Amino acid sequence: MFAFVGFSLRRGWQGFWRHKLTSLAATATMVLMLVLLSGLVILLNGLDATLNYVQQEVQVVAYLRDSAGTQDVSRLEAALQEMPAVQDVKYVSKDQAYSDFLARHPEDADVIRSLPSNPLPASLQINLRDPNQYLEVATYLRADNAVDRVLNIQQTVDQMVSVIGILRSGGIVVLLVVLFIIMNTIRIAVVSRADEIEIMRLVGASDAFIRWPFVIEGAIVGLLGALLTIGLLLAAQSPVNDFLKGYFTVFPITGELIVRNIALLVLGTGLGIGVLGSYLSVRSCLSR
Amino acid sequence: MSAPTGGNAATTPRLRPDERVPSRIVLALQGVTKSYPNGKVALKGVDLTIPDGDFVFLVGPSGAGKSTVIKLLIREEVPTKGSVLLDGRDLAKIKKREVPKIRRKIGVVFQDFKLLPNKTVRDNIGFALEVTGARRSAIEPAVDRALKIVGLTGHADHLPGQLSGGEQQRTAIARALVHNPRLFIADEPTGNLDPVISWEIIQLLLRINEMGVTVLMATHNAEVVTAVRKRVVALEEGRIVRDELGAAYHRED
């Protein structure tokens, strides 16, 4: 048993290095797939987090002109609360908006403090009973002089949900295609050594002795691919974070937990595909 | 039956000194019919018995069924009807995981040598032991002995590409011998070799036979078969048409 394990490890290692070209081709495809996989997971995670954040907020925001007075605010509040579509209304003053912004973007505090006056508008934040009745509320608000602009958060949310859906299914298709390419690359690497397998069979090698060196070789491809991918991701982490921060306002991959989870996902997927790909390829050579 | 030992048997080391029971049957085909999925019938009711220590030429035109017999013997194929017995065991009934153990009792060489081009002669021969789980310490002496039998001790560290065809075939023979096989099968071993080299290979097979190994050689080489005067089994269209001791390649009437 010990001899068998030693044999498999030794031969697997030799097999990887004696067929550098095919091994490296398989490793490169592996890296491509793992980068795509982790990129997709990170992106979807980011979008989900953003979506959650946005959904906690109100559904309709009406920004008020600076000219609007307290009587305008109470008039609008009263009218809105009369409407059956509206669940609740909350008034956010200019001062409140200013301190909310400072709390959310402390790194931009210097910029906003340097401005001569508070540029943020006061707003009414409205939750609807039924998001579909948005138009009725928005039309009413847009007709009012005190209202500058109406934002439909729900619309943004809907757009995000569909973007996430497209990304998820598109990503899965791309991953399946790349998975197929990896399996094929591994298969070619194994089949190109059909002579070796034939000789092993002729001299009476058992299936395990034929199979395991190839499985170990696949594991080396998977492991190396995973380590390279993790290296790439770590190198790309801070520029990507900066980009996401700018783009989504929330930044999901700085957390240690998610970095660890992605690393585990990459390692597990790489090893799994390497091992499974070799196993299946050798099996097709053995079952003749 | 042909005698397993020649005149110089006393000086030749025997590979299996304990298995000299004269009448023991190594190999038997009983009513073997083999048809392939494409409908071709390669063998039709073939009966053949080969006793321990025999030397048998299997002759016949291409497509007569020689290759099929060999495939059945190494259990690459199983018969459609009838049975193939190796040492009394029906090869069709052994478990799949026992097949490799059966193959270790059989040494096979082919026309195309089947050597690994990036391994030295020594490593090609040792490969057969390495991949069957032999202890590493046991490999070197066994390889040295096989090299000595085929006369390639001086070429142990050459790659197959640096050898002549005859030397490559001798490497393949050494690899087939390294397990101390009970049965040695040669499928057209001289097919790629010139007459002088072919003759050397035949001499080597005869010497292996004198060591006590049963040899079955499929061949087209009429000159060699006729000169050696051993048992000749002739196949034609899937049937045995002749089975003679001390015979020539062609029927002598």
Q: Is A207 on the interface with B (CB under 8 A)?
A: yes
pLDDT for B162 beyond 90: yes
Cα nearest neighbour of B175 on chain A: A203
Cα nearest neighbour of A18 on chain B: B118
Same domain as A98, residue A68? yes
pLDDT for A253 beyond 50: no
Look up residue A199 and give its two tokens: 């000789």
- Mean pLDDT (whole number) for A130-152: 82
Lateral strand order in the sheet of B89-90:
B41-51, B25-35, B81-86, B89-90
Query: Which pLDDT band holds residue B17 (cuts at 50, 70, 90)?
Result: very low
Cα nearest neighbour of B124 on chain A: A199
Given this model, what pLDDT does residue A244 score? Answer: 63
Same domain as A145, residue A225? no
**Residue tagged 């094929």 (tokens):** A184
DSSP class of B96: G
Same domain as A206, residue A281? yes
pTM of the entire predicted model: 0.73
Same domain as A48, residue A26? yes
Cβ pair B100:A206 closer than 8 A: yes
Amino acid letter, A167: L
Quote ipTM for the complex.
0.83
Cα nearest neighbour of A209 on chain B: B131
Where does a domain end: A107, A135, A153?
Answer: A153
pLDDT tens per residue across span A213-246: 999 999 999 999 999 999 998 888 777 767 666 6
Amino acid letter, A253: I
Q: Is B245 on the interface with A (CB under 8 A)?
A: no
Given this model, what pLDDT does residue B6 score? Answer: 40
Q: Which of B164, B82, B73, B180 is nearest to B129 (CA)?
A: B180
Where does a domain end: A153, A173, A189?
Answer: A153
Query: Which pLDDT band holds residue A95 (cuts at 50, 70, 90)?
Result: confident
Given this model, what pLDDT does residue B241 score? Answer: 93
Same domain as A172, residue A97? no
Q: Which of A188, A208, A186, A190 is nearest to A277 (CA)?
A: A186
Query: Which pLDDT band holds residue B233 (cuts at 50, 70, 90)?
Result: very high
- Mean pLDDT (whole number) for A62-70: 86
* Residue A225 structural domain: 2-54+158-286
B135 contacts on A by Cβ (under 8 Å): 3
**How many domains, chain A?**
2
pLDDT for B11 beyond 60: no
Residues 41-80 of B with CB under 8 A from A: 74
Same domain as A10, residue A121? no
Choose, out of B116, B131, B136, B139, the residue to mutate when testing the contact with A (most A CBs < 10 Å): B131
Provide the percentage of residues in chain A whose pLDDT is more than 70. Answer: 91
Per DSSP bridges, beta strands A86-92 and A123-128 are antiparallel
Query: Which pLDDT band holds residue A163 (cuts at 50, 70, 90)?
Result: confident
Q: Is A201 on the interface with B (CB under 8 A)?
A: yes
Same domain as A258, residue A123? no
The rounded mean pLDDT for chain A is 84
Q: Is B112 on the interface with A (CB under 8 A)?
A: no
Q: Is B98 on the interface with A (CB under 8 A)?
A: no
Rg of chain A on CA atoms, in Å: 29
Q: Is A19 on the interface with B (CB under 8 A)?
A: no
Same domain as A129, residue A171? no
Given this model, what pLDDT does residue B21 score? Answer: 45
pLDDT for B177 beyond 50: yes
Cβ pair B97:A206 closer than 8 A: yes
Given this model, what pLDDT does residue A57 score? Answer: 59
The rounded mean pLDDT for chain B is 88
pLDDT for B20 beyond 50: no
Given this model, what pLDDT does residue A220 score? Answer: 94
Tell me the C-alpha distance between A282 and A197, whole Å. 9
Given this model, what pLDDT does residue B5 score? Answer: 42
Same domain as A95, residue A169? no
